[in-house]
Amino acid sequence: MRRTAPLLLVLGALLAGCGSRPSTAPADTAPADALPGAVEANATVVALTDGDTISVRIGSRKEKVRLIGIDTPETKKPNTPIQCYGPEASAYTASLVPVGTKVRVERDAEARDVYGRLLAYVYRATDGLFVNLDVIRHGYARQLTIAPNTAHEADFTAAVQAAQRSRIGLWGTCTG
């Protein structure tokens, strides 16, 4: 016991000091749920998956981003047929943020979904267009509210109700 006590004290001191040192890890090794600069970051669109999922480059990292609050009809989900207005929704999102577009991505309370995608609100850098809201406002998406990511729930509700009343987009084309 006499021999191990000094060793344990030294080991304890070393471990205690580890938590107080500033991190020197590069940004690429930041925790998976962190954006550089905390809850928002500037990014560039590098690919479009469908109407509610894009890929962006944030610094040197590529992130798949799921647009919070909206759900466009499926076009690429395995074992699922292409849904009514899915291709149109994908094309519309692609027209808003084509590859190369500078955007600002902003997190809500929960950073990632079960598939590891970054959950975000996306704003076009050139004019501040709120992409998530624009897609739903023009009838290309249904509202999809999943707590705790509810910061813009009221805006999305109003937009989808207006699109339904006007029977635009999928609301005027798709039945059932």
**4-27 per-position pLDDT tens digit:** 444 444 334 433 444 333 333 333
2 is catalytic: no
- pLDDT exceeding 70 applies to what percent of the chain? 78
Active-site annotation holder among 63, 66, 88, 137 = 66
66 is catalytic: yes
- Give the model's pLDDT for residue 176: 60
**pTM for this structure?**
0.78
Active-site annotation holder among 88, 106, 107, 117 = 117
pLDDT tens digits, the chain, 176 residues: what are they? 444 444 444 334 433 444 333 333 333 333 444 454 457 889 999 999 999 999 999 999 999 999 999 999 999 888 889 999 999 999 999 999 999 999 999 999 999 999 999 999 999 999 999 999 999 999 999 999 999 999 999 999 999 999 999 999 999 999 76
Residue type at position 108: D
Q: Which of 49, 23, 47 is nearest to 36 (CA)?
A: 23
CA atoms lying within 13 Å on the CB side of residue 81: 3
74 is catalytic: yes
Domain 37-173, CATH: 2.40.50.90
- Give the model's pLDDT for residue 79: 85
